[in-house]
Amino acid sequence: MDRQIKCELHGDMIIAGSDAVSELYDRGFYGRKKDGVLELSLIEGAYLLYREKIQIFSNETTVDFKTFFEIASGRSEDFELRYIVFKDLRERGYYTKMNPIGFRVYPRGGHPGEVPAHIFIYVISERAQLPLKSLIHELNKAVNARKRLILAIVDEESDITFYEIKKIAMMGKSPIEPEEVEVPMVTGLVNDRTIVWDREMSDFLHSSYFFGRKLDESRLQLSLVESGYLLGKQWIRIEHKNVASLDADKFNEYAEGVEPGYMLKYQVYAHLRDNGLVAKTGFKFGTHFRVYKQFKSDTHSEYLVHAVMPDYIFALPELSRAVRIANSVKKRMVFGYADGGVEYVEIGWIRL
Amino acid sequence: MDRQIKCELHGDMIIAGSDAVSELYDRGFYGRKKDGVLELSLIEGAYLLYREKIQIFSNETTVDFKTFFEIASGRSEDFELRYIVFKDLRERGYYTKMNPIGFRVYPRGGHPGEVPAHIFIYVISERAQLPLKSLIHELNKAVNARKRLILAIVDEESDITFYEIKKIAMMGKSPIEPEEVEVPMVTGLVNDRTIVWDREMSDFLHSSYFFGRKLDESRLQLSLVESGYLLGKQWIRIEHKNVASLDADKFNEYAEGVEPGYMLKYQVYAHLRDNGLVAKTGFKFGTHFRVYKQFKSDTHSEYLVHAVMPDYIFALPELSRAVRIANSVKKRMVFGYADGGVEYVEIGWIRL
């Protein structure tokens, strides 16, 4: 066994003498050189203790792994989670440095001082709540530093799942032509859908733009968001009970009553359609929409899009489920949030 | 075109004369014979009107499809949903009769009067809330009548997804041997997991029973439910801060604080383990557990199990997501609910 380097535990740091610089820093890129000594984080300390590379002293007595682990988990937030991720990355050939949300990670084969880190790892427990705002905040920091942002979620059995977070511009190739319909066509509102009664108009909406679903050969059913969108474009007018033509405000109010969250969903739907994408229900995938870049009869949708409020808070099992489904059907999972305009963030499962 | 049979709309029923009995009932099993006339439901009426088999009169004037559809949707709950499902089933060769939740369905090739119905179809909108209690209630009725219960969920674009509901007994082949551990082993509670410090015990728990996950070669991490279960079995004792040995009540209280809903999850976990099944986290699938009938190194888990309260209310997009994931990984989706003992209901996607 190698000679073990003696270190001292000081608060949330471990201090090793100058002999450690050549042994641990130069050969393994552990710690941070400062005034001729080496400062190790608690996580690095635990790992080196497990590897039997160091001995840790506190008040002149050595500290064993169990005791050190218990002390460290009391002094450093999410210590056990970060230890699990650190160990995993290290043993798969990645050098890392600590940062406030987890780690900076260096490309495999590269090391600190030689190449820049290329990834920020955000370590989080499956049980934690993750506000969309925090995620966007960290994503902006990563983008500004030209890093990729990767979420490392540690589950209750200490398995790690990695998700990459990216901003994404949603643009498609099936734009709605303006003013193609001159006289709005009559539709009837029946509970949570509307029906286009005219055969020609049904065919046109369905085959040119993939709106709605045929009730039969001559009639088309539109969903609430489709109805709201076409009403806004003045392609349809909506009859309801004794009202010959609902205005947009009345329709929105009605739709929000039938489907709480309608307006949020509508904003994302309209933004997608306005940008040339074709959005259809994602019910079978448990999301608001499946989205096509271009609609042709033989295409599959490329995205699953879920509309969320800017103050949305992710429950991680739920996030995991959404990404898993998208992955299993070879689609990309995207969350759209309305914040002035509509912005999109893609969350994708990756092997790291 | 066939001669159209004249019918009269009366409230939520359509009455056709005796000529309809031979035309509609004897040839197509529409409606119900009563006192020499034929009574059609509004849904059958709408379908026959669309097929141009009948004319419907109300106050001496004919009613066109649009008007009839609007009238009927005002008079009959979920009319438009049931119409969509009726049309779909009928056009795929199934005869149906109305029942309070949707339809009784006859086997393909068979018809009313010849064979009994074999399925109850429960028609519901994707937007509806479905209480577990209602589902169980309908399931019990179906089981008593020796029918299968199938949920037909109509999404916002009128697409139909069918799920079969079944009670299921969960039994496995990896029982926990009683009193295999005589002296409880020490574990340490670190936030939301415990660590088994002893190498031999770590190996034993992991390789004989697939408890926990190795932290490294000599230490094992246990999840909260695993810890609670092994504590109950007196295989471990749990150290926490200055307490040498947490009792079960204290541990449960702690665990419920770290993970709201712990006790519910624990009940289902313990029931599964007690019945010889091996349950591990289902985090990657967005459920509480993935469950093995028997643990061998090369087996895949057969079930995804999610623990819910007896008063749980399903949101259908969420249900759809859960079943979809299970399907994509070839597992069976099961909900476990604690109601005195623990019972299980399996929900599986089917083609009908």
Best B75, B85, B88, B157 member to test A by mutation, with max A CBs in 10 Å, is B157
pLDDT at B295: 83
Q: Is A281 on the interface with B (CB under 8 A)?
A: yes
In tens, the pLDDT along B50-85 reads 999 999 999 999 999 999 999 999 999 899 999 999
Taking contacts as CB-CB distances below 8 angstroms, the residues of chain A near B216 are: 50, 87
Is there a single domain that holds both residue A200 and residue A114? no
Q: Residue B70: give the domain boundaries.
A: 1-75
The partner residue sitting opposite B285, judged by closest CB among A157, A158, A324, is: A324
Q: Is the residue at A268 inside a domain?
A: yes
In the predicted model, is pLDDT for residue A1 greater than 70?
A: no
Query: Would you give the end-to-end CA distance of chain B in angstroms?
Result: 31
For residues B124 and B319, give the distance between their C-alpha atoms in angstroms, rounded to a whole number. Answer: 13
pLDDT at A177: 84
Domain final residue, candidates B203, B226, B260: B260
Please tell me the total number of residues recorded for chain B in this structure: 352
pLDDT at B2: 61
In tens, the pLDDT along B236-253 reads 999 998 888 999 999 999
Which pair of structure tokens corresponds to residue A232? 């806004």
In tens, the pLDDT along B289-336 reads 999 999 877 789 999 999 999 999 999 999 999 999 999 999 999 999
Which pair of structure tokens corresponds to residue B19? 């000529």
Q: Which residues pair with B104 in a beta bridge?
A: B97, B120
Is there a single domain that holds both residue A127 and residue A205? no
C-beta atoms of A84 and B215 within 8 A: yes
C-beta atoms of B193 and A283 within 8 A: no
Which pair of structure tokens corresponds to residue B173? 């082949």
C-beta atoms of A159 and B213 within 8 A: yes
Neighbour-count burial of A331, counting CB atoms closer than 10 A to its CB (0-12 exposed, 13-18 middle, 19+ buried) = buried
Identify the helix (H) or strand (E) that includes residue A52: none
Q: At what angle do helices A79-91 and A42-50 cross, to 10 degrees?
A: 60
pLDDT at A230: 96
Domain final residue, candidates B36, B60, B75: B75
In the predicted model, is pLDDT for residue A296 greater than 90?
A: no
Percentage of residues of chain A with pLDDT beyond 90: 85
C-beta atoms of B221 and A157 within 8 A: yes
For residues A24 and A31, give the distance between their C-alpha atoms in angstroms, rounded to a whole number. Answer: 8
CATH code for the domain of B20: 3.40.1170.20
Q: Is the residue at B144 inside a domain?
A: no
C-beta atoms of B197 and A66 within 8 A: yes
For residues B305 and B290, give the distance between their C-alpha atoms in angstroms, rounded to a whole number. Answer: 6
Taking contacts as CB-CB distances below 8 angstroms, the residues of chain A near B84 are: 215
Mean pLDDT of B253-257: 96
Interface subset of A 212-241, CB within 8 angstroms of B? 212-213, 215-216, 219, 221, 223-225
Which pair of structure tokens corresponds to residue B96? 């149906």
Taking contacts as CB-CB distances below 8 angstroms, the residues of chain B near A316 are: 283
- Which of A205, A187, A335 has the alpha carbon at shortest distance from A272? A335
C-beta atoms of A73 and B212 within 8 A: no
Domain final residue, candidates A167, A199, A223: A167
Mean pLDDT of B278-296: 93
Is there a single domain that holds both residue A233 and residue A310? yes
For residues B273 and B222, give the distance between their C-alpha atoms in angstroms, rounded to a whole number. Answer: 15
pTM score, two decimals? 0.92
Number of H helices, E strands in chain B: 11, 23
For residues A62 and A52, give the distance between their C-alpha atoms in angstroms, rounded to a whole number. Answer: 13
Confidence band, pLDDT 50/70/90 cuts, at residue A242: confident
C-beta atoms of A127 and B221 within 8 A: no
C-beta atoms of A161 and B284 within 8 A: yes
Mean pLDDT of B271-283: 96
Is there a single domain that holds both residue A124 and residue A53? no
pLDDT at A260: 92
Q: Closest Cα of chain A to B286: distance in Å?
A: 4
In tens, the pLDDT along B184-213 reads 999 999 988 999 999 999 999 999 999 999
In the predicted model, is pLDDT for residue B109 greater than 70?
A: yes
Buried b or exposed e, range A183-221, using 16+ CB within 10 angstroms: ebbbbbbbbbbbbbbbeebbebbbeebbbbbebeeebbb
Q: Is the residue at B143 inside a domain?
A: no
The full DSSP string for A159-222 is: -EEEEEEEE-----S-PPPTT--SSPEEEEEETTEEEE--HHHHHHHHHHH--SEEEETTEEEE
Q: Is the residue at B170 inside a domain?
A: no
Taking contacts as CB-CB distances below 8 angstroms, the residues of chain A near B197 are: 66
Q: Is the residue at A319 inside a domain?
A: yes
Q: Is the residue at A136 inside a domain?
A: yes
Is there a single domain that holds both residue A333 and residue A203? yes
In the predicted model, is pLDDT for residue B44 greater than 60?
A: yes
C-beta atoms of B321 and A320 within 8 A: no
pLDDT at B115: 95
Q: Is the residue at B104 inside a domain?
A: no
Which pair of structure tokens corresponds to residue A49? 């203790």
For residues B122 and A191, give the distance between their C-alpha atoms in angstroms, rounded to a whole number. Answer: 19
Is there a single domain that holds both residue A156 and residue A222? no
β-strands A185-190, A236-239: how paired?
parallel
pLDDT at B212: 95
User: Within a 10 A sphere around the Cβ of B232, how many other Cβ atoms?
Assistant: 16
Nearest chain A residue to B84 by CA: give it.
Answer: A215
Q: Is the residue at A180 inside a domain?
A: no
For residues A186 and A251, give the distance between their C-alpha atoms in angstroms, rounded to a whole number. Answer: 14
Is there a single domain that holds both residue A201 and residue A318? yes
For residue B272, CA distances in Å to B169, B172, B217, B290 come to 10, 8, 28, 11
Is pLDDT larger for residue B177 or for residue B229? B229
Q: Closest Cα of chain A to B26: distance in Å?
A: 25
In the predicted model, is pLDDT for residue B1 greater than 60?
A: no
Is there a single domain that holds both residue A158 and residue A58? no
For residues B352 and B344, give the distance between their C-alpha atoms in angstroms, rounded to a whole number. Answer: 23
Identify the helix (H) or strand (E) that includes residue B261: none
HSE of B222, CA atoms in CB hemisphere, 13 A:
32
Nearest chain B residue to A85 by CA: give it.
Answer: B215
Is there a single domain that holds both residue A69 and residue A83? no
**For chain B, what is the domain count?**
2
Is there a single domain that holds both residue A245 and residue A330? yes
Is there a single domain that holds both residue A234 and residue A311? yes
Is there a single domain that holds both residue A93 and residue A222? no
Q: Closest Cα of chain B to A213: distance in Å?
A: 6
HSE of A214, CA atoms in CB hemisphere, 13 A:
10
In tens, the pLDDT along B209-234 reads 999 999 999 999 999 999 999 999 99
Interface subset of A 49-88, CB within 8 angstroms of B? 50, 65-66, 69-70, 73, 80, 84, 87
